Amino acid sequence: MKNKVINIAANYDNYTLEIKKRLISILKKYGYDYYDGFSKEGELNIAIGGDGAFLRSVRESNFSSIPFVGINTGTLGFYPEITADNLEGFVSDYTAGNYTINTINLIESEIFALNYSRKIYAVNDFILKRKDMKTIHMDVYIASNHLEKISGDGIIISSPMGSSAYNKSAGGSLVYPSLKTLQITPLSPIISNAYRCLDCSIIVPPEFEIAVYPERKEDYHIALLADGEDASYEELEYVHFRTSKKFIKRLSTGSFNYWNVIKDKFL
């Protein structure tokens, strides 16, 4: 009988490679084969590293429908819940079926530029700035209603899981992961007699679409980052953001406690 295949994506630092070697040995002991990267024959994607490694593995797999789990060899992270000293316990639990599969909805961005449009996806967040990093002026609409004009360094559109990343550093709110929301957070907004906007983040329910229109022609040259991956667009006309019907699956053994991670990471 053919062994079941586990996909492994890992960082290349020495400690992570050591943990990967130990994991492969344990997987073989339990009757699994492994694949470096993302085989469609795999039944589980394991990312070894920190949050960045987890997000990178999701993107490199093209948002695979195979469940993901993370083994943490970085600093304290939100995605990788398995510790390096519990590898055999994890493989044993997985083999026995002691886990749950949760879904994480992606953020969908639909970009409309001169003569074309495209969709791109993110797990954590989108960051919208001018390519030259000068002040950008943007009109923001929620459910087709004009809300405000934001002038400043840019904006972040984040998911609940992404709310604890750049969004929090920019003054946004923490949102519990099971909530299906989007959050709009301005980056260094200018608030003066000449420019007015809200100086707080806005949390938007999943049925509402967010639209962002650059105000001036010089604002059309946009840098849009999806989970930190940079893409630039010339003559961008507007962008729509929405909670996508597309999702990834995240495997959990029940050891992840959001409040404990928040306390350990920030307090």
Q: What is the DSSP letter of 62?
A: T
Q: Would strands 145-152 and 68-72 be described as parallel, antiparallel, or unpaired? A: unpaired
Query: How far are the Cα atoms of 4, 31, 77, 97 from residue 1, in angstroms, in the given order?
Result: 9, 10, 37, 20
Q: What is the DSSP letter of 3?
A: P
Tally of residues, the chain: 267
Give the Cα separation of 36 and 49 in Å (integer).
15
For residue 51, indicate whether it is catalytic. yes
Task: Extract the runs of DSSP E, i.e. beta strands, from the chain.
Answer: 4-10, 32-36, 42-49, 68-72, 82-83, 100-113, 116-122, 125-130, 136-142, 145-152, 154-158, 182-187, 202-204, 210-214, 222-226, 229-233, 236-252
Q: Would strands 182-187 and 202-204 be described as parallel, antiparallel, or unpaired? A: antiparallel
Residues 69, 120, 49, CA angle at the centre, nearest 5°?
Answer: 25
Query: In terms of C-beta density within 10 A (0-12 exposed, 13-18 middle, 19 or more buried), how is residue 113 classed?
Result: middle
- Are 213 and 219 in contact by the 8 Å Cβ rule? The answer is no
Give the Cα separation of 128 and 212 in Å (integer).
9
Give the Cα separation of 77 and 64 in Å (integer).
21
Catalytic hit among 13, 33, 36, 51 = 51
Residues assigned a catalytic role: 51
